[in-house]
Each structure stands twice: as structure tokens, then as C-alpha cells.
Amino acid sequence: MSQHKPRVFSGVQPTGNLHLGNYLGAIVRFVDLQADHECIYCVVDMHAITVWQDPQELQRSTREVTAAFLAAGIDAEQHIVFNQSQVSTHAELAWVLNCIARIGWLNRMTQFKEKAGKNRENASVGLYDYPVLMAADILAYHAEMVPVGEDQKQHLELTRDIASKFNNDYAERIAELGLARTEDGGFFPLPEPLIKGPATRVMSLRDGTKKMSKSDPSDYSRINLSDDADTIAKKVRKAKTDPEPLPESVDGLKERPEAANLVGIYAALAGMSPQEVLNDFGGKGFAEFKPALADLVVEKLGPINAEMKRLLDDPAHIDAVLRNGAERARAIAAPIFDDVKRIVGFLS
């Protein structure tokens, strides 16, 4: 008898500058989960346009994220890889969930506050509603697990709140129609965040207290998956550090965010613990550590970078992968949304 494989959903925005944080915090974990999960990985282009995107650049970035998935080892035949806008259920379910989510809940979302900044009145409605679309992405597939970086934890909690409220509001109706899918009679399972792994929060190379991010105006703040070996070496060389040598134990990294970040990156890429890295480099200065780190980054990202380039030379193939994934994603999401429509009371 085949064993139940938990369903995993996650997404990456095609907003350019895919970086080491996205790679270690998300893509590497996506690859690892394939062995014993049913995985659905989405290039979330509808999320991307919550802030202005040049249309041609959006197309390029959508293919680039797809190429990164494939180059890193995601198997688009065994699992599903597609871009969000090709499956209309995401938008349709988001509307229903908009009517479940409360304004007070969205007002607490820190990512909106950070991204809208001081000019809140001028932010798009989509940016404000982003977490509801994210809930729809996950719930449309009855996904049970969602691998994300630390920054997405609050959005995941909101998804669980929305799912719970839907299950409660429609509890009688769900029972009446015989559509309970969870042990306690709910329709939507409450998805579990998977915020584990060696690098759930990779920090900026210019400021160890800020996360590495695509939208940081300084390219020196991040290592992009598209950077060549020379650029990587230069960025690591210029990374902000302090004058002290590396400590002998992880306790010594506590007040040293930049040092902790570089040791964390080394550990994640080498498959070691930070303490093991310090066993090798404790007492040594950055003049010795940085070249070793740069070599390791180049060794790990080089083959992915080369494979991405090869894949991007054949955009028709990438588009075909996405179309095929979208068809299979639709086949899962459409019947779930048909049930949602019956539960809510939409005639069809």
C-alpha cells in the first residue's frame, strides 16, 4: 500500500535578483522535501505585481526563478512547478477568503508596514491584501506543510486563522454536505509552517541586522544566483565585518551579527553546524575566513548558475514546464474550489 505523503506548497516571487537567502532559506529546502512529500512549487507572479514590475522583466524573472528551481534539483515531473497566474483558482479563492479575513488581522502584518513604509496611502491594495492571496495559494491545494523563511511566519499564522474561521463559520454547512476533511470536521487543514534548516534568515552582507533581500538598493548586500565567481569573491571580500578574529565558540558570535551571518552561510553551504565551522576557523581573522567562504560559495553556486544559464537559453522549454505544471495544479485545485463554492452557497 502506498504511504500518504504530506502535501507541501511554497512559492518564490519573480521579482529579480534571486539571492543566497532565497536559495538557502527556500530552494534548498524545497529540494530536500521532495523525497517524502508531494510538492507543489509556485512562481508567484501575482504576488510580484503588488509592487510595480516591468512586464518584460517580470517574464524574464518568472523564467529565471523556474530555471533556479530546476537547476537546484527540483523534479518538475515527479512534483509540480508552475506560475501562479496560470491557475485562476488562486484569485477566485482569494476573493472568498477576503470575505473571511478581518481588516484588523491585516493591519497587524509587519511585512506590509515595512514594504509600504511611510507612503502607506500610496501602496497598492494588492500589497495590503498579499497575505490573503498567500492563504489562497496554500489552501487551494489543501497543503499541509509550507516551507518558508523566518520572515513569512506571520503570514502563515494568518493563513491558519483564515482557515480556522472558514471552518467555524461554515461548520454546519460543511457537515451537511459531508465535506469535512479534517478530524475535527473542518474543510481546510491548518497548514504547518516549516521554518527549520540551517539558514532560515540570511542577513545582508552590508548590515548583519537586516535580512538579505532582493529589493535592497545595494547589490553588495546580497549574493545573487546569477553572480559569476569574480563578483561573488568581490562581494564576500567587501562584506562588512568587525576587526576581531572569529571566536572559538558560538557564544562569542552573539553580539557580532555580521560575523554570525558569514559563519551561518558557511555552515549552511558546507552542511556543518556553526560550531564545527568555528572549530576550523576560531581564532583566525577574516583575511583567512573570507577567501575560504568565497571559494565555498563559488563551488556550491557555480554549477547552479551554469545550469540556469543553459536552461534560460531555451525559454520555450521553461514555458512548457510551467504550462504542464499549471495543468496538473489546476486538476488539484479546481475540485477543492468547487467544494468551496458549494459550501459558500454559490450556484453553478
25 binds ligand AQP (CB under 6 A): yes
Active site residue 214: yes
The region of 213-221, 241-249, 264-272, 284-292 touching ligand AQP under the rule CB under 6 A is: 213-221
- Element (DSSP H or E) covering residue 309: helix 286-312
Active site residue 341: no
Number of CB atoms found within 10 A of residue 307's CB: 16
Point out the catalytic residue in the list 115, 234, 240, 341: 115
For 249-298, the DSSP string reads SGGGGTT-HHHHHHHHHHHHHHT--HHHHHHHHTT--HHHHHHHHHHHHH
Least Cβ distance, residue 134 to ligand AQP (angstroms): 9
Active site residue 210: no
Chain centre to alpha carbon of residue 95: 22
The region of 21-29, 83-91, 157-165, 229-237 touching ligand AQP under the rule CB under 6 A is: 21-29
225 binds ligand AQP (CB under 6 A): no
Q: Of residues 215, 218, 273, 279, which one binds ligand AQP by CB under 6 A?
A: 215
Q: Which residue is nearest to ligand AQP (CB)?
A: 25
110 binds ligand AQP (CB under 6 A): no
CA distances from 64 to 44, 56, 146, 179 (A): 12, 12, 22, 39
Q: Of residues 22, 61, 85, 261, which one binds ligand AQP by CB under 6 A?
A: 22
214 binds ligand AQP (CB under 6 A): yes
The region of 85-93, 177-185, 209-217, 280-288 touching ligand AQP under the rule CB under 6 A is: 209-217
Least Cβ distance, residue 211 to ligand AQP (angstroms): 4
Binding flags for ligand AQP, 165-204, as an x/- string (CB under 6 A): ----------------------------------xxxx--
Measured between alpha carbons, how far is 318 from 69 in angstroms, rounded to an integer?
11
13 binds ligand AQP (CB under 6 A): yes
Q: Which residue has the cell 511585512?
A: 111
For 135-166, the DSSP string reads HHHHHTTT--EEE--GGGHHHHHHHHHHHHHH
HSE of 6 in the Cβ direction (CA atoms, 13 Å)?
A: 13
3-state secondary structure of 323: helix
Query: Which residue type is seen at 66?
Result: T
Name the residues annotated as catalytic. Answer: 115, 211, 214
Q: Footprint of ligand AQP on this chain (CB under 6 A)?
A: 12-13, 15, 21-22, 25-26, 148-149, 151-152, 199-202, 211-215
